[in-house]
């Protein structure tokens, strides 16, 4: 019996240590090859009026992410007690080819959304990713199956596209992904879910390798939709795994299970903030939700004077601080008070972004608000 336990521990430790290391060095090796092939086949990102770069840049860095996950899912299968590896592989593969085709042919938003819907449907077919209770968060307990499935699919599709939307400057999606995966790695380690811990660590490893080239001047490469959709889907499925766990699984963490949704929202603060804000602005302007613009958080920060690298690290630091603050908040305050604090942080961030925004429409809006305020004072 002791020998069996020792062998299992050896398998776990070897997978946790070796796989992320192999993913890191494997990504360092293959990304330059992908870059060279991308430029040779003329699959590169050409600057337009929304671009934050000059000159053609190789794309398809996300191919390395996809290959890394295939490698990890194959060799970490022994840790997969729920036997969901094939489902995860199917979902990630659909996301990968959706992003690949979009990078190559500029796929229509409707076709792209339909493909994402199919990929997410694979995940929702697994009971392991269904959220059937919020365990008392804001007074909500059991959730009907149909509401859980449709609500989960809506949120997961939103989260995947949130990572796609923030992929607008060098390093931002990579840094944000590393931050989120680091928080999740700590949680999965404490909870003893080593299969998902391995996936989280592999995400950190492949993104660290990617940033080496994404920040490079001479060997720059973008992850493209190929990468952002894959990373978004993996971080999304890890989020839903955490949300699907029952109360007894969370005894090793320092906060109550019911407060988990609020903490995960704070970990995903920047992607969610940017998506909600941009979609709201597009809605009030009466333009398509799918119409791209230069009104994202990263555009505002770069226009304010920061380089891509500094802007990405600044935004990543903001996300980290919000998550850290909420980690302590949920241990001191009740659900309603914690929600009010997070909402307050959200609106403070919105206000600061509005004041920093040098976009023409924002300047016009600030001018109108100034006139209204002066007219009010003159009454």
pLDDT digits (tens, 9 = 90+) for 25-53: 999 999 999 999 998 888 777 665 555 55
Largest alpha-carbon pair distance within the chain? 84
pLDDT at 209: 97
pLDDT at 371: 67
pLDDT at 35: 93
Whether the Cβ atoms of residue 202 and residue 19 lie closer than 8 Å to each other: yes
pLDDT at 85: 92
Which strand (E) or helix (H) includes residue 137?
strand 133-137
The backbone torsions φ and ψ at residue 182, rounded to the nearest 5 degrees and listed phi first, read -70, -45
Q: b/e map of 72-85 (b: 16 or more CB within 10 Å)? A: bbeebeebbeeebb
> Within the chain, which residues score under 70 in pLDDT?
1-11, 46-55, 359-379
Place of tokens 């600061």: 352
- CA-CA distance, 87 to 327, in Å (whole number)? 32
Whether the Cβ atoms of residue 224 and residue 45 lie closer than 8 Å to each other: yes
Question: Cβ of 21: how many Cβ atoms within 10 Å?
Answer: 13
Q: By C-alpha distance, which of 94, 22, 32 is closest to 58?
A: 32
pLDDT digits (tens, 9 = 90+) for 47-96: 655 555 566 898 899 999 999 999 999 988 888 888 899 999 999 999 99
Q: Does this model's pTM top 0.85?
A: yes
Question: Cβ of 128: how many Cβ atoms within 10 Å?
Answer: 17
Domain spans of the chain, in order of start: 15-377
Whether the Cβ atoms of residue 31 and residue 64 lie closer than 8 Å to each other: yes
Q: Which long-range contacts (CB under 8 A, 24 or more apart) does 337-343 make?
A: 338/259, 338/262, 339/138, 339/262, 342/262, 342/265, 342/266
pLDDT at 48: 57
pLDDT at 250: 75
Residues in a beta bridge with 133: 142
- CA-CA distance, 74 to 247, in Å (whole number)? 30
Close Cβ partners of 29 (under 8 Å, ≥ 6 residues apart): none
pLDDT at 9: 64
């Amino acid at each position: 019996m002791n020998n069996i336990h020792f062998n299992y521990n050896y398998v776990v430790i070897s997978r946790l240590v070796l796989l992320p290391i192999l993913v890191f060095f494997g990504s360092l090796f293959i990304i330059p090859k992908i870059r060279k092939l991308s430029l040779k086949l003329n699959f590169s990102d050409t600057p337009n009026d929304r671009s934050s770069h000059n000159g053609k840049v190789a794309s398809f860095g996300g191919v390395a992410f996809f290959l890394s996950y295939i490698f990890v899912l194959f060799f970490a299968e022994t840790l997969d007690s729920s036997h969901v590896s094939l489902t995860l592989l199917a979902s990630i593969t659909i996301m990968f080819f959706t992003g690949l085709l979009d990078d190559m042919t500029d796929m229509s938003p409707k076709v792209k959304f339909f493909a994402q819907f199919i990929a997410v449907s694979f995940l929702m077919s697994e009971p392991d990713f269904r959220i059937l209770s919020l365990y008392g968060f804001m007074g909500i307990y059991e959730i009907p199956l149909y509401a859980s499935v449709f609500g989960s699919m809506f949120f997961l599709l939103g989260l995947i596209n949130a990572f796609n939307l923030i992929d607008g400057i060098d390093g931002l999606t990579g840094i944000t992904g590393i931050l989120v995966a680091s928080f999740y790695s700590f949680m999965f380690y404490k909870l003893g879910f080593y299969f998902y811990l391995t996936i989280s660590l592999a995400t950190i490893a492949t993104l660290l390798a990617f940033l080496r080239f994404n920040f490079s001047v001479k060997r720059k490469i973008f992850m493209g939709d190929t990468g952002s959709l894959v990373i978004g889907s993996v971080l999304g499925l890890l989020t839903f795994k955490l949300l699907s766990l029952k109360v007894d699984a969370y005894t090793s963490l320092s906060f109550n299970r019911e407060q988990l949704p609020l903490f995960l929202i704070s970990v995903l603060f920047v992607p969610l903030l940017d998506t909600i804000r941009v979609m709201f602005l597009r809605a009030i302007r009466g333009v398509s939700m799918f119409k791209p613009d230069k009104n994202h958080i990263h555009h505002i920060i770069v226009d304010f004077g920061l380089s891509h690298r500094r802007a990405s690290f600044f935004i990543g630091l903001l996300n980290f601080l919000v998550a850290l603050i909420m980690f302590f908040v949920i241990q001191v305050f009740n659900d309603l008070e914690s929600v009010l604090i997070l909402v307050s942080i959200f609106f403070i961030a919105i206000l600061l972004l509005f004041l920093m925004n040098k976009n023409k429409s924002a300047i016009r809006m600030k001018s109108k608000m100034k006139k209204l305020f002066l007219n009010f004072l003159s009454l």
